[in-house]
Amino acid sequence: MRFPHRRHPPENEPAVSAGRDAEHRPPCGCAPAQRGMRAHRHVAGPARAIGGTMSITASMIRIRVDFLPARGPSRRADLLVPAEVPVAALLPELVDVFGSAPDPGASWRVRLPGGSIADPEAGLADAGVADGDRLVIADDPGPAPPPMVVDVTDLLADGAPGVAVVDSGVGRAVAAAATIASVAGVLGMSEHDAVLAAGVAGAAALMAAAGLRIALRRGGSAPTALVLAWQALVFSAVAGAAVTGVPISDATADWRFAAGLVPGTAVASAALLILRPSDRAVFAASTATGAAGIAMAVGAAGFAAASAWLGDARSAAAIVSALGVIGLTVAPGIGVAAAGVRVPGIPAAGEPFPDDPDPADPVDVIASRAGRLLDGLVAGSAVVLVAAAALIATRAPDRWSVGLVVALAVLCLIQSRGHARAVPSAALGCAGAALLLLLVLAQWHVGRWPASLLLLVPLLAATAVAAVPAGRVTPTMRRVLELVEAVAIAVSLPLAAVVAGVPGLAQELIP
């Protein structure tokens, strides 16, 4: 230990108790200034007691303390300190003895003779300190934290979504394109070899079903399950249509083609409705696809029956359009009933409430199932309406046909704004736009271009209408839209009957 003005005493010589710095030492022969703790220079005899706020007791120990500040010279002193006072209470006065300037960032620690850090809550005697031991007071912030290495590459890699982030989306797009190409190939093959074409379509349906099963077992995403479900549904329907051997050019003229679509569609839809995946999103996708398949199977069956009975595709399409309107009307009720939603009966005055057993599934599961059934039924009915309107608009459209298609388009567009669910709203909006486009193309094809340009006005105004929030619609306007919707429903059914030739058929039946 070195001092600027004095040789450090050797170990076998009595130490000099360092009080404060030279400028704070009292003149020779004067008593030191009263402090919380005092250290005296001594040559022989015991060390001077240190008390301050702590009174001198019998449990005092004589120790040698090395003071090691972070900045400045180190010092040493022989002190007489209480043995039972906690180190946390003793440490500030020990630091004050050596005259260290206050340092808010200092972390003073007491090191025991063995090198360990003294417990702040325990006394020196509890730590095993005895007379003559050497302690060290050091500005020690503790062990240094581990080095932090910041690698920009690692940070970018951690924030990236992963490798091959578009594989699933590209795979689904390729699968959809391959499905369309396969359907066209199977239908073209059915003219030459119906059995082989049906076998290819059936094998493709089984492969799609197997892929759906694997996706369910491996935790596949809902969009992937949706694409696989639609693949299984489409290939099953095409397999039945391919068995008939009807050329694709005669698909609307021969009722057997539409009849062949029904069995495969119904079976695949029922299988999708039976599935109970654990994942809520996958369950919603399979349920909605199955419900849409059921709606399209009903439309295909109605077209086949009407075409076989009336012998005209345009008349059969009018009947199917009426079925589509009815399907849109009853879809909410069918979804609620099929999902198992029970509305408790309200008894009359004085009668007890009837027993209402608890449902087998949780209420939220039943409500979700009802919503997904509604999604599928509305989407399937929209597809049926567009398919029927395509036949009506492209086959010598007269004023009755134009009126029917316009009524269907108005109905779809108004209902699309009234649905609170995304799938029915989007399906009906797209269906309404498709109906208007079909009518525009049909009118342009027959040379009525002023009418076709006039029909484009609602399509151009659709953006402005969609930009108006539903909450901004006044109650009066809402009531007007409901009235227009009711008129469209009421008008579409008689127009469908007129286009189908039902009045003429009734006249022939009446003698």
For the stretch 373-410, pLDDT in tens is 999 999 999 999 999 988 888 876 788 888 898 899 88
Which residues have CB under 8 Å from 267's CB, separation 6+? Answer: 236
Q: Is the pLDDT of residue 89 over 70?
A: yes
The CATH number of 1-142 is: 3.10.20.90
Tens of pLDDT along 237-246? 999 999 988 8
Among 21-35, 133-147, 213-227, 253-267, the range of highest mean pLDDT = 253-267
Cα separations (Å) of 282 from 216, 233, 279, 289?
Answer: 8, 16, 5, 11
Spell out the SS3 assignment of 208-252.
HHHHHHHHHHCCCCHHHHHHHHHHHHHHHHHHHHHHCCCCHHHCC
- Tell me if the pTM is above 0.75: no
What's the gap between Cα 173 and its chain centre?
22
Helix axes 167-190, 222-243, angle to 10 degrees: 0
In 55-142, DSSP assigns E strands to 60-68, 75-82, 108-111, 134-139
Q: What angle do CA 476, 482, 488 make, to 5 degrees?
A: 140
CA distance 242 to 197: 6
pLDDT > 70 in the chain, percent: 75
Residue 392 contacts residue 422 (beta carbons within 8 Å) = no
Q: How far is CA 476 from CA 115, 467, 480, 496, in A?
A: 87, 19, 6, 30
In sequence order, the 6+-apart residues with CB closer than 8 A to the CB of 264 are 205, 235, 236, 237, 238, 239, 240, 241
Predicted local confidence at residue 433, as pLDDT? 86
Q: Which of 117-121, 497-501, 506-510 has the lowest mean pLDDT?
A: 506-510
